[in-house]
């Protein structure tokens, strides 16, 4: 079984379309800036990968996660040649924080907020006529979990087309929690480098249109071969190598591929020492040292975009396969020992012929997902 990705849209701190984001990644453009959303005096960390789209500098606004979601969905529908009426199309949204920041602004400043505004389905119905909307809060693997559900809906005959999306804006309570649980204070997100100190949040939204098969005259950006998901519940924050190994093996089995068939791995690469060493160790045990696929981690330039991060990596993988170029891991100069045998793209973008790509997404609580993508002509 396989499904075609026929439309893509995305917004992040480094670009307002998938093409802009990909060009920035390949050029090594991206990085954190001083946090604008709220006063950082209470926190050790002072930086994040924010989208700078507020009407007044330094004055935060409610509804930004919803705003980006609508923009990404609108892009994906236009890219797919879809008329934009989603009355009969399910929309599945992965998120970590939903509109938590809007609730904070209501509580702190009295910003206008109706309870219906906290649910993405309200805006999707008003903007696109969507009546079948579902939200998945599976931490950092949320959008890939939603993607797995989309394939199930299509195979069950519940839909021929599904829109899958992810969105998150930085919330102060989540930022503060992360600031307290990380031992060190990162000034940038540096996946797999010995200098990594932890994760910094990013903002953005992403959307794809998934069909059983591309329609007449319709181009498929890539073919989705499989999505594997599991929840090992090993630990609230520490990833479990066994759980990650199982989800990857399950994705290969569902896709009908072997590890040696994989040409590119889009790493989860959150920049936390435990995640980086665990992910690198698992992959070192799966792929032949020095001869495996190319690997990259886009969070080094976008920050951790939370619930939509896995789907954003999938969009980048589709563009990498079509353009024959893999973006580098920004700031990777001294890889952690566990990554010694991995073919991490460093310093500059690498030319590559990509047939099969693997996309990793691992979240708190052992919520794991992996997607297998195939290039299309």
Strand partners, 356: 374
Please name which of 218, 224, 177 lies closest in space to residue 201, comparing C-alpha atoms. 177
**Tokens (6 digits) for 44:** 């050790």
Q: What is the DSSP secondary-structure string of 129-144?
A: ----EEEE--GGGHHH
Place of tokens 């435990």: 274
* Contact predicate 335/192, CB 8 Å: yes
Q: d(Cα 294, Cα 359) in Å, to the nearest integer? A: 12
Q: d(Cα 375, Cα 377) in Å, to the nearest integer? A: 7
Sign of the CA dihedral running 192, 196, 197, 201: negative
Phi, psi of 234 (to 5 degrees): -70, -40
pLDDT number for residue 299? 98
Whether the full predicted model's pTM is greater than 0.95, yes or no, is yes
Q: d(Cα 139, Cα 210) in Å, to the nearest integer? A: 22
Long-range residue pairs from 16-20, CB within 8 A, at least 24 positions apart, any chain: 16/71, 17/75, 18/75, 18/315, 18/316, 18/319, 19/319
**Tokens (6 digits) for 159:** 């839909």
Q: d(Cα 96, Cα 167) in Å, to the nearest integer? A: 8
Q: What is the DSSP secondary-structure string of 281-296?
A: HHHHHHSPTTTS-EEE
Domains, the chain, with CATH or none: 3-211 (3.40.47.10), 223-375 (3.40.47.10)
**Angle at 29 (CA atoms; ends 140, 38), nearest 5 degrees:** 55
pLDDT number for residue 164? 98
Q: What is the dihedral of CA 126, 129, 134, 135, to 10 degrees?
A: -30
**377 residues of the chain, pLDDT tens digit each:** 799 999 999 999 999 999 999 999 999 999 899 999 888 899 999 999 999 999 888 789 999 999 999 999 999 999 999 999 999 999 999 999 999 999 999 998 888 888 999 999 999 999 999 999 999 999 999 999 999 999 999 999 999 999 999 999 999 999 999 999 898 999 999 999 999 999 999 999 999 999 998 778 788 999 999 999 999 999 888 899 999 999 999 999 999 999 999 999 999 999 999 999 999 999 999 999 989 999 999 999 999 999 999 999 999 999 999 999 999 999 999 999 999 999 999 999 999 999 999 999 999 899 999 999 999 98
* Contact predicate 95/65, CB 8 Å: yes
Q: d(Cα 355, Cα 349) in Å, to the nearest integer? A: 18
Pairing of strands 325-326, 350-351: antiparallel
Phi, psi of 167 (to 5 degrees): -155, 145
């Amino acid at each position: 079984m396989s499904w075609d990705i026929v439309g893509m849209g995305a917004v992040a701190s480094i670009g307002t379309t998938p093409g802009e984001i990909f060009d920035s990644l390949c050029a090594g453009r991206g990085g954190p800036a001083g946090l604008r959303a709220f006063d950082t005096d209470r926190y050790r960390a002072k930086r994040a990968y924010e989208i700078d789209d507020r009407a007044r500098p330094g004055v935060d606004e409610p509804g930004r996660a919803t705003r980006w979601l609508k923009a990404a969905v609108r892009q994906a529908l236009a890219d797919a040649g879809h008329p934009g009426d989603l009355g009969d199309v399910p929309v599945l949204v992965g998120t970590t924080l939903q509109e938590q920041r809007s609730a904070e602004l209501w509580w702190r400043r009295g910003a206008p907020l109706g309870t219906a505004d906290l649910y993405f389905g309200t805006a999707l119905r008003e903007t696109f006529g969507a009546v079948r909307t579902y939200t998945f809060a599976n931490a950092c693997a949320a959008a890939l979990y939603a993607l797995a559900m989309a394939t199930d809906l299509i195979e069950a005959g519940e839909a021929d087309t599904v829109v899958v999306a992810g969105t998150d804006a930085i919330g102060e309570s989540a930022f503060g929690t992360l600031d307290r649980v990380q031992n060190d204070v990162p000034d940038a997100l540096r996946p797999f480098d010995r200098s990594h100190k932890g994760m910094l949040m990013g903002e953005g939204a992403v959307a794809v249109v998934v069909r059983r098969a591309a329609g007449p005259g319709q181009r498929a950006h890539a073919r989705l071969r499989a999505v594997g998901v599991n929840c090992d519940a090993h630990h609230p924050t520490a990833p479990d190598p066994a759980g990650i190994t199982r989800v990857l093996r399950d994705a290969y089995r569902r896709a009908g591929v072997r590890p040696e068939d994989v040409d590119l791995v889009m790493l989860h690469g959150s920049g936390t020492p435990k995640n980086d060493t665990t992910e690198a160790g698992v992959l070192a045990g799966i792929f032949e040292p020095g001869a495996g696929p190319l690997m990259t981690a886009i969070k080094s330039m976008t920050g951790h975009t939370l619930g939509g991060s896995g789907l954003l990596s999938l969009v980048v993988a589709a563009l990498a396969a079509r353009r024959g170029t893999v973006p580098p891991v920004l700031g990777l100069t001294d890889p952690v020992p566990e990554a010694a045998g991995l073919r991490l793209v460093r310093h500059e973008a690498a030319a590559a012929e990509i047939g099969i790509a693997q996309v990793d997404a691992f979240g708190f609580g052992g919520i794991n997902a992996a997607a297998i993508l195939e290039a299309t002509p």
